[in-house]
Amino acid sequence: MELNADDANTYNNLAWIYATSEEFRDLSKAQAYAEKAVALTKEGQSNFLDTLAEVYFVQGDPERAFATLRMAKAVAEDPDGAIKQIEAHRKKRFPNDAL
């Protein structure tokens, strides 16, 4: 981030680590970094929205997480990759709901 403050991939990767790693868990940083990645890409990258949805879910906000997963699926361009990943996360977190 010091080398490129606008690198959305770096923000997204750090957000995922802070949200999903027990060793490095920091949900405040996870949310800030995930929101930064989403903002930098103008809500146009499905995998960044997917990360943000995971952050919201882990923070205990399932409604916001589900809405963000829905956004991720709407902007996904690769049905065989991105949509499958989003659907896998949806099934894990919301097994009885469809996007």
Answer yes or no: are the C-beta atoms of 55 and 27 closer than 8 Å.
yes
Dist. CA 21–CA 25, nearest whole Å: 5
Q: Residues 34-93: pLDDT tens digits?
A: 999 999 999 999 999 999 999 999 999 999 999 999 999 999 988 678 888 999 999 999
pLDDT, residue 96, reads: 92
pLDDT, residue 98, reads: 87
pLDDT, residue 79, reads: 66
Dist. CA 99–CA 73, nearest whole Å: 8
Which domains, and CATH codes, for the chain? Answer: 8-93 (1.25.40.10)
Dist. CA 50–CA 13, nearest whole Å: 12
